[in-house]
Amino acid sequence: MFFNPFLSSPKTQGLVLYRNKPCEIGDKGGIYLAVGFVLITAATAHEHEVYKELSKVPEIVELHPLFGEYDLLAKIEADDFDNLGAIVVNKIRSIEGVRFTTTFTETKF
């Protein structure tokens, strides 16, 4: 959960726009988003091109190059988990040079 104390009081509930997406305000004033972390393996020698294309995807709010088994880590925000899955399938896996993805979703305790 993303928490912004300037958006609402702790007792406010409802929907607000955050990054032009409708998001639910929780009982503590935070905004609930579907958040995913995607580990991406690119084809050899295509890491830069994949990075460039991923940086154009508006739902990717953070993108980090990595060393090791995976080449990139992307943080995605969507209004729900169905849309999060669609972003991975339609906007990330469809990029030429993306070989594999592994997606982790955020949860609440």
The Cα 99–Cα 61 span in angstroms is: 21
35-105 is classed in which CATH architecture?
2-Layer Sandwich (3.30)
The Cα 70–Cα 48 span in angstroms is: 14
* End-to-end Cα separation, the chain, in angstroms: 10
Domain boundaries, the chain: 1-32, 35-105
Query: Going residue by residue through the chain (109 aa), what tens digit of pLDDT does each one get?
Result: 444 444 443 434 555 666 666 666 655 555 567 899 999 999 999 999 999 999 999 999 999 999 999 999 999 998 889 999 999 999 999 999 999 999 999 877 7
pTM tops 0.95, yes or no: no
pLDDT attached to residue 20: 63
pLDDT attached to residue 27: 52
Alpha-carbon torsion (72, 75, 76, 82), positive or negative: positive
Stated as kind and residue range, the H or E segment containing 52 is helix 47-54
